[in-house]
Amino acid sequence: MKTKVKKLNILKSMILISIFISSCTKDEIDIRSNESAYDNGYFITNEGNFGTGNGSISFVDEYGVVENDIFQSVNSFLLGDVVQSMSIINDNAYIVVNNSSKIEVANVDSMNYVATINVSSPRHITSVSRSKAYVTDWGINGVQIVDLNTNSVTSTITCGTGPEAVVESNGYAYICNVGGLGLDNTVSVINTSSDIVETTLEVGDKPNSAVVDYSGDVWVLSGGYTEYDANSNVVSETPGSLVKIENNVVVSSFVFPVGNHPKDLTINDAGTTLYYSDGSFSKAVYSFNIGDNMLPTVPLINRSFYSLGFNNKHIYGTDAVDYVQQGWSYRYAVDGSVVDSVRTGIIPGGYCFN
């Protein structure tokens, strides 16, 4: 009799331990799943079809699995018309929606909505301090200053025409004035402490992108300007260029052949190698070491992309296909060999790496 009771008690204990372990395991899984739904991966901004308001964000996890329309699926409303770019600042994702004249702010871990910042024609946003960010805005030909504590615009800074890319280095913000639909060839240099333009540098026509290298120097890529007649025939062209800015002075310049229109400058993790698309002749991707004394002539990747990015030892490029259906994102090794690809939203226009 005692043996049966003892066996029964042992059985009960095993059942209780099993239930306890099962309960703990479930709780641990729930805790982990609540920590971050969008960690260990990267984001792709999809412009969407112009005028339709179907811009979106895709997330690709560390295993290459893509989830599209993540903002809409979490918040049950569309981002809006032309998702231009996205930056992660502090714990939030700042999603620039150009044609809807706003920036949507969401928690980067969950993509839950936080706030909306109204800006007339925003292009890009970058933080210049823990509590302040700059937004380039074609609507005012300048920069909107955003208080990151309140997610509101506090002031503006006048720049050149069509302010586009913005990078920060050593207490200064560098604004590429691409000219909008017209022409500009300058970079506005803003002291981020005083919010004053300290100097304006002339670079190539239509500077479209910029990066900061390992030493803090700024590299600016200009696409050059093309003038057309009423029948869309080319009347004249100016060359694209790549310049290096050191201590707020242009110290070196590399000029592309006329007819090339380079774009989408990006840089590797070490801050030593630049990548860009020439966008014209061979429509290929080239690499340029910051110590080189001449532009490369042999492409690294022999195909064109709508946009480029670099992260974690890989080159990324988007394909907008026909600008109507869903696009693609491709990942390459630094030797130019393709690694994998994922299907994105409509018109994938950029990357945001966490």
pLDDT tens digits for 94-151? 999 999 999 999 999 999 999 999 999 999 999 999 999 999 999 999 999 999 999 9
Mean pLDDT value across the chain: 91
Q: In the prediction, which pLDDT does 297 show?
A: 93
Task: Tell me the pLDDT tens digit for each residue of 189-208.
Answer: 999 999 999 999 999 999 99
* Mean pLDDT score, 203-225: 97
Of 25, 33, 157, 151, the C-alpha closest to 92 is 151
* pLDDT of the residue at 234: 92
3-state secondary structure of 74: helix
Q: What pLDDT does residue 311 have?
A: 97
In order of 35, 38, 190, 274, the CA distances from 304 in angstroms are 38, 29, 33, 17
The dihedrals phi and psi of 26, each to the nearest 5 degrees, come to: -65, -45
Q: What is the DSSP letter of 181?
A: T
Question: Residues with Cβ < 8 Å from 10, sequence gap 6 or more?
Answer: none
Looking at 22-26, 222-226, 233-237, which range is the least confident one?
A: 22-26
Compute the average pLDDT of residues 280-286. Answer: 78
Residue 230, pLDDT score: 93
Per-residue model confidence (pLDDT) at position 283: 86
- Per-residue pLDDT at 90 exceeds 50: yes
Q: Give percent of the chain with pLDDT exceeding 90.
A: 86
Q: What is the mean pLDDT of residues 278-291?
A: 85
pLDDT interval class at 240 (50, 70, 90) = very high
pLDDT bin (cut points 50, 70, 90) of residue 279 is low
| 20 pLDDT above the threshold of 50 | no
Q: What share of the chain is helix, strand, coil (3-state, %, to 5)?
A: 10, 50, 40
Return the ∠ at Cα 311 (arms to 310 and 313), rounded to 5°: 95
pLDDT at 280 (0 to 100): 63
For the segment 67-81, the average pLDDT, to the nearest whole number, is: 97
C-beta of residue 299 within 8 angstroms of C-beta of residue 335:
no
Quote the pLDDT of residue 31: 33
C-alpha 240/C-alpha 265 separation (Å) is: 12
